[in-house]
Copies of this chain bind each other. A is one copy, B any other.
Amino acid sequence: MAERLIVVGGDAAGMAAASQARRRRNRDDLEIIAFERGHFTSYSACGIPYWISGLVADREQLVARDPATFRESYDIDVRIRHEVVAIDLNRREVIAMDLDGGTEVREPFDTLMYATGAVPTKPAWAHTGGAGVFGVQTLDDGSALREWLDADPPPRQAVVVGGGYIGVEMAEALVLRGLSVTLVERDEQPMSTVDPDMAQLVTDAMRGLGVTIRTGVQVTALSERDGRVCEVVTDDGPIPADVVILGLGVRPNTALAEAAGLPLGPTGGIRVDRRMRVTGVPGVWAAGDCVETLHRVSGMPVHVPLGTHANKQGRVAGINIGGGYATFAGVIGTAVTKVCDLEVGRTGLRERDALAAGFEFVSVIAESTNRAGYYPGARPMTVKLIAERPSGRLLGAQIVGWSEAAKRIDTLAVALWNRMTVDDMTALDLGYAPPYAPVWDPVLVAARKAVDALAPR
């Protein structure tokens, strides 16, 4: 008789695992059931801001593979709108609720793949204020927001609470739709995913785009009129709003896991080993935004909810479930984003992370251009490097610039992954032609500056 794999959560990590397991074990050997509480499988949550702005026309474009494809091409029994409400590790069964029919089903499993993703941070005040308050986490969230924005008359004053990637991307999306947008950030500056000196460039760009930025401001409540949000109340006065976006980050979605007794780590994510097996729980695997993972530079566990890790981790889990061997190598915190035409990339540790990890370091900021200075379209590009003292080992890097800046962080990410020193980096053979770089690539300029900063005076 076939073994049975049950997948809890049908997005990137869960379906990557299911697909890889199926690739190695056919139906007679492994039956696969995947429960997904939403309407969609394997969609790009990262694409939601671009669908909201209208850059991406149809919601369906964000769906990589729909349930029908998984059923037909992968022989995976995908059950959407089914929420797993309990996992019984002793009886080795899950209890799932059919959200449309209202009925409950019990399904036994031999192997469990836990991939419930993350849940948005939602403080108490976010539950006040009536309709018009949205997270931007699932396609269903996005659909609800699109509907609200498409109303007649449409909302005109948006407040985005939180200045991380989603907050910044949503602020831009709403400006593109013609709304007046205020971004409220509790800290000194939005975009704290980079150091303050680099984040300042992003703040300037967003202001240039017309976004009102209120920093050091704490939201305390939302006010409603006729059941609709009308005002964001803060410790610095009220801000009128007819639509509110919550961009306060996410935490691992572990309610079910905790109830079932799966171990959580210090970040609140599920603890897994290098093969994505839940630590100490035979036959149970986990991957994606619900787990914590190893940061290769700090050596500490981190929670980095990002589709690219979810896909890689799901693939690793699936290969192992399928009888193969794979390990997840950890992350180094590479991320890129776009604010209007301004591009931002980061990898490794920020200064505050390096301090927290106990490193001594120097940091340098080098100004250069994305192309040869004389080539049309040459624009400023700022590269920041953080290097351990005295070893010179690269610990982190950040880039802010215009056209073709952000993805250059990959060059630095691969250098960092390989534990290169900034001295070694000055010798790198990088591509040079006037449309792409000055004869000294911005990465090399920054590495040289870091070498100078490290030299004993």
**A contact residues vs B (CB 8 Å cutoff):** 12, 44, 46-47, 50, 55-56, 61-62, 64, 165, 306-309, 311-312, 328-329, 331-338, 345, 347, 372-376, 404, 406-411, 413-415, 417-418, 420, 424, 426-437, 439-441, 443
Contact = CB atoms under 8 A, between A and B. Distances in A.
A328 B328 CA distance: 35
Q: State the copy count for this chain.
A: 2
Contacts of A409: 431
A308 B432 contact: yes
A437 B347 CA distance: 16
Given A50-B375, A311-B440, A439-B307, A413 B428 contact: yes
Nearest to A407: B436
A43 to B, nearest CB: 10
Which residue of A61, A347, A407, A427 has the most chain B CB atoms within 10 A of its CB atom? Answer: A407
Given A335-B431, A429-B331, A429-B347, A407 B376 contact: no
Contact of A432 (B46, B411, B414, B415): B46
What 10 A-B pairs come out closest when comparing CB atoms? A336-B431, A61-B374, A329-B427, A418-B418, A414-B414, A308-B432, A410-B411, A334-B429, A332-B429, A338-B435
Contact of A411 (B56, B335, B338, B414): B414
Given A61-B374, A420-B418, A431 B404 contact: no
Contact of A429 (B61, B333, B430): B333
Contacts of A433: 46, 165, 335-338, 406
Contact of A413 (B338, B413, B417, B431): B431
8 contacts: A47-B372, A47-B434, A311-B439, A334-B432, A335-B431, A337-B433, A410-B430, A411-B411
